[in-house]
Chains A and B, each alone.
Chain A
């Protein structure tokens, strides 16, 4: 390796630091350190002339390692790294430390001690800089094409967005027609407009620009040249890497040739087969060749394979005026190459028959909200009439039961979040067309949290809908009266009601779509405990998954109403665009690497890695070694902390670098107090140190900070080394256990501390010299207090005597 020539740039932050720290003493000290090629003092080095001085020194070839002692490192880091790269040096050969917030300000009451600590900090940075190695970037091409799975409202909106932005988009739908749940529910709240309205493409091929929303069939959606729509299709295999996936689809035959069908309905008229219409809640029959409702997309009939008699009958074939029917079509497989995948598979109603006491599968007049929506739809099986499915008579008394399966620990423990509004919508639509109907809603809590939703609830009361606060225990069938009886306590009246009903409507729990689990396995992405797809981070990275290149939107992540699904869809399109738009994937390689010689057969790191980035690969010698997927690795080092054989390390935080830093930090004390080393995670722990300094909170100067990527990287032997190197106390400062930026790091660290304490006891070192703290950025005060507490604690103990010490 090339001899290191370290340039040290120390900033006095506009002379404010030199009032506390003795900069001459500091400079003289640095001069004594080997391999220093340049020492520069200035007011600031993260911008302007100071930054130029760094660039010039690199360009002149005088230095090949950069140490900067500055303030507000979180901002200056980025500027300095960029400048260093522009000057022609690898940006990872830089070490920036904060001598203001981590030294001068918190120790301003003891300038001499602050100066000594500053020496230790700079020495540590220099020793680390000497050992730094260049880190490259991973770069490979990404295809500018996407696959959107599921053509409900979310999938369609994402597809339009991506197509508008110029990507090649493949939109696939499992059903023979587009629209998903949104097509079946008929109307949307709170505006009561048609569910199947979408925002049409921004730039129309025919130079007509649509601005108002349109029904899918007239939106021009299907005519977007770079949007390929495939119905009756599912994903059966996925290979490849983010940016270049090879997806195999299976498309079931429609038996009707789309390019020829003229939607004349003649085939439907002659078809002799009648079969229950599942789409319409089995309330009516349809033919074996059919369209769900007239205004669907595509405007092409489909043949129901299970019902059709095919060549035995073939009446449709002979009557079709355009020769569109082909009974010999076969299932086809297609392979697509796409850069990214968006999952928009939605949600469905839970199987209400599991709630035995509501007798959903026994009493035909107990139905679900979705089934009711089909009745309300003018295109539906009853032409908009609300009937009792048992006898077809008009339903005059209708009782809704909320939370049928939701907020229920036996079925779906979560609130499905939109069922209150769905029931209010359906109840209001009934009341509006049929004011004489008696409508009750039995509820636990009415949740109307969206814009206009409370108004919607108000209107429902104005319409005369009656509300009963209570969850019914059972639905009975009173055969004499020919009515259902809903047994409920109205908690507000303290009264037991037996509500008579022609129709009982269950606001069923809303659960992940069928096949969610299988699709997750196929794509290698995670699910939440409730079975929905897991978003990377609901606050900062919604619609993303841990697999770069795979995105989520709509009800696939949680039950959503249309405005939310739409919002989510646009977000997913934005994320996919960000990912594909440059045509390449760039990822820095601050990742883990495995030393094959030491690695052997255990499964600790693949199991621990929160990103699924590590897998075991067979070697030619008949055992397994760990392999890191650089694209998935986030460089946290939890694997490093887990490996029992020290066979895995981070390129940007190697054990020798950490040891050198540690030794340097502990080589100078300069205070009357015993030294305490604090391993601070670069996320919450280190920023809590920042914020305590920024807020000028004071703590003793014997506290030495070593920044690590995550608390989870710290190894037990490193803790022991720290004591050996002279630390009298060791602090681990990480994120809160449920707020760890790398998910499991903080929890893993805690377990390791427990183990280390046992070992310390064995070695005759008091276990209380070691402690873990968890805090967030705003808890600077907690850091200062923890630092004081640890100092007091170890001051009371006598100096550690290690074996071999005289």
Chain B
């Protein structure tokens, strides 16, 4: 997969590419104390993800490793790390920034491509099943309003959202 369609910034280090992006600004404040790692519920369970290591790799400019691996997609956005970081590094936001770079470069897990397609085509990430509708009724929740696809597509268009391409290697 090439970077033909993405805005690659020439002659700029990867850490600068991250810091000039929304959410990535606080990257260089990290001094690797590891509070994020010990705060992270995912890192405990899955050795592929460790927020401290994600930041270290970004600081060292290991773009390929971050972009091609699974790690940045495993964050659940619980914000524990961000809440406790003594340097106010916006870790969860930073991971979003990394994901955005990855998507622009055409690297995203299949499921994200599916979400994207569903959003464009149906206005929702997840289809609402009969089961869900029934459960809502049971819990006394109002029925979901129909989606105004036209409005959603206007927003998507205005924010330059395009269907993410499927990562070829992914299943």
Complex: how many Å from CA A109 to CA B33? 61
Interface-facing stretch out of B1-9, B70-78, B80-88, B151-159: B80-88
- Asked if residues B37 and A403 are in contact (CB atoms below 8 Å), the reply is no
Interface bracket on B: 10 to 19
- Asked if residues A357 and B34 are in contact (CB atoms below 8 Å), the reply is no
Interface residues of A in 440-484 (CB under 8 A from B): 444-445, 469-474
Complex: how many Å from CA A489 to CA B87? 17
Closest residue of chain B to A404 (Cβ to Cβ) is: B86
Give chain A nearest CB distance to B33 CB in angstroms. 4
* Contact A472/B88 with A407-B31, A489-B52 known, Cβ cut-off 8 Å: no
Interface residue from B35, B47, B50, B88 paired with A471 (Cβ < 8 Å): B35
* Contact A473/B84 with A444-B33, A488-B38, A491-B34 known, Cβ cut-off 8 Å: yes
Q: Is B39 located at the chain interface by the 8 A CB criterion?
A: yes
Complex: how many Å from CA A444 to CA B52? 13
| Cβ contacts under 8 Å, A438 to chain B | none
| Cβ contacts under 8 Å, A407 to chain B | 31, 33, 86-87
- Asked if residues A403 and B44 are in contact (CB atoms below 8 Å), the reply is no
Interface residue from A409, A444, A491 paired with B88 (Cβ < 8 Å): A409
- Asked if residues A496 and B88 are in contact (CB atoms below 8 Å), the reply is no
- Asked if residues A489 and B31 are in contact (CB atoms below 8 Å), the reply is no
Complex: how many Å from CA A489 to CA B34? 6
- Interface flags for B17-55 (1: CB within 8 Å of A; 0: not) read 000000000000101111101110001100100101000
Q: Which 10 A-B pairs have the closest CB atoms?
A: A408-B86, A471-B33, A470-B34, A489-B37, A473-B38, A473-B39, A489-B38, A444-B33, A489-B34, A471-B35
Complex: how many Å from CA A491 to CA B34? 7
Complex: how many Å from CA A409 to CA B88? 7
Q: Is A410 located at the chain interface by the 8 A CB criterion?
A: yes
Q: Is A311 located at the chain interface by the 8 A CB criterion?
A: no
Interface of A is mostly: loop
| Cβ contacts under 8 Å, A403 to chain B | 33, 86
Q: How many A-B residue pairs have CB under 8 A?
A: 59
* Contact A470/B31 with A409-B86, A489-B52 known, Cβ cut-off 8 Å: no
Give chain A nearest CB distance to B29 CB in angstroms. 8
- Asked if residues B38 and A444 are in contact (CB atoms below 8 Å), the reply is no
- Asked if residues B86 and A473 are in contact (CB atoms below 8 Å), the reply is no
Interface residue from A408, A409, A445, A470 paired with B38 (Cβ < 8 Å): A470
| Cβ contacts under 8 Å, B84 to chain A | 357, 473
Closest residue of chain A to B37 (Cβ to Cβ) is: A489
Closest residue of chain B to A470 (Cβ to Cβ) is: B34
Given A407-B86, A471-B34, A487-B38, 6 more A-B residue pairs with CB atoms under 8 Å apart are A403-B33, A408-B86, A472-B35, A473-B39, A489-B50, A494-B50
Q: CB within 8 Å of A: which residues of B? A: 29, 31-35, 37-39, 43-44, 47, 50, 52, 80, 84, 86-88
Complex: how many Å from CA A444 to CA B34? 8
- Asked if residues B35 and A496 are in contact (CB atoms below 8 Å), the reply is no
Give chain B nearest CB distance to A510 CB in angstroms. 16
Give chain A nearest CB distance to B61 CB in angstroms. 19
Closest residue of chain B to A471 (Cβ to Cβ) is: B33
- Asked if residues B86 and A471 are in contact (CB atoms below 8 Å), the reply is yes
- Asked if residues B34 and A469 are in contact (CB atoms below 8 Å), the reply is yes
* Contact A409/B35 with A491-B52, A496-B43, A496-B44 known, Cβ cut-off 8 Å: no
Closest residue of chain B to A491 (Cβ to Cβ) is: B34
Interface residues of A in 400-417 (CB under 8 A from B): 403, 407-410
- Asked if residues A410 and B88 are in contact (CB atoms below 8 Å), the reply is yes
| Cβ contacts under 8 Å, B52 to chain A | 489, 491
- Asked if residues A473 and B35 are in contact (CB atoms below 8 Å), the reply is yes
- Asked if residues A470 and B43 are in contact (CB atoms below 8 Å), the reply is no
- Asked if residues B32 and A491 are in contact (CB atoms below 8 Å), the reply is yes
| Cβ contacts under 8 Å, B29 to chain A | 409
| Cβ contacts under 8 Å, B86 to chain A | 403, 407-410, 471
| Cβ contacts under 8 Å, A471 to chain B | 33-35, 38, 86
11 contacts between A and B (CB under 8 A): A409-B86, A444-B31, A445-B31, A469-B34, A470-B37, A488-B34, A489-B38, A489-B43, A491-B32, A494-B47, A496-B37
- Interface flags for A496-525 (1: CB within 8 Å of B; 0: not) read 100000000000000000000000000000
Complex: how many Å from CA A408 to CA B87? 6
| Cβ contacts under 8 Å, B33 to chain A | 403, 407, 444, 470-471
Complex: how many Å from CA A777 to CA B147? 70
Complex: how many Å from CA A407 to CA B33? 10
| Cβ contacts under 8 Å, A494 to chain B | 47, 50
| Cβ contacts under 8 Å, B50 to chain A | 489, 494
Complex: how many Å from CA A469 to CA B35? 11
| Cβ contacts under 8 Å, A496 to chain B | 37-38, 43-44
| Cβ contacts under 8 Å, A469 to chain B | 34
Complex: how many Å from CA A494 to CA B50? 9
Give chain B nearest CB distance to A246 CB in angstroms. 46
Complex: how many Å from CA A147 to CA B133? 80
Give chain A nearest CB distance to B7 CB in angstroms. 31
| Cβ contacts under 8 Å, A445 to chain B | 31
Complex: how many Å from CA A573 to CA B55? 49
Complex: how many Å from CA A469 to CA B34? 8
| Cβ contacts under 8 Å, A491 to chain B | 32, 34, 37, 52
Closest residue of chain B to A402 (Cβ to Cβ) is: B33
Closest residue of chain A to B52 (Cβ to Cβ) is: A491
Give chain B nearest CB distance to A126 CB in angstroms. 57
Complex: how many Å from CA A536 to CA B44? 50
Complex: how many Å from CA A473 to CA B86? 10
Complex: how many Å from CA A489 to CA B52? 10
| Cβ contacts under 8 Å, B39 to chain A | 473-474
| Cβ contacts under 8 Å, A410 to chain B | 86, 88
Complex: how many Å from CA A489 to CA B33? 9
Give chain A nearest CB distance to B146 CB in angstroms. 44
| Cβ contacts under 8 Å, B37 to chain A | 470, 489, 491, 496
- Asked if residues B31 and A409 are in contact (CB atoms below 8 Å), the reply is no
| Cβ contacts under 8 Å, B47 to chain A | 494
Give chain A nearest CB distance to B109 CB in angstroms. 24
Interface residues of A in 289-313 (CB under 8 A from B): none
Complex: how many Å from CA A407 to CA B32? 12
Give chain B nearest CB distance to A475 CB in angstroms. 11
- Asked if residues B38 and A472 are in contact (CB atoms below 8 Å), the reply is yes
Give chain A nearest CB distance to B103 CB in angstroms. 28
Complex: how many Å from CA A488 to CA B37? 8
Give chain A nearest CB distance to B39 CB in angstroms. 4
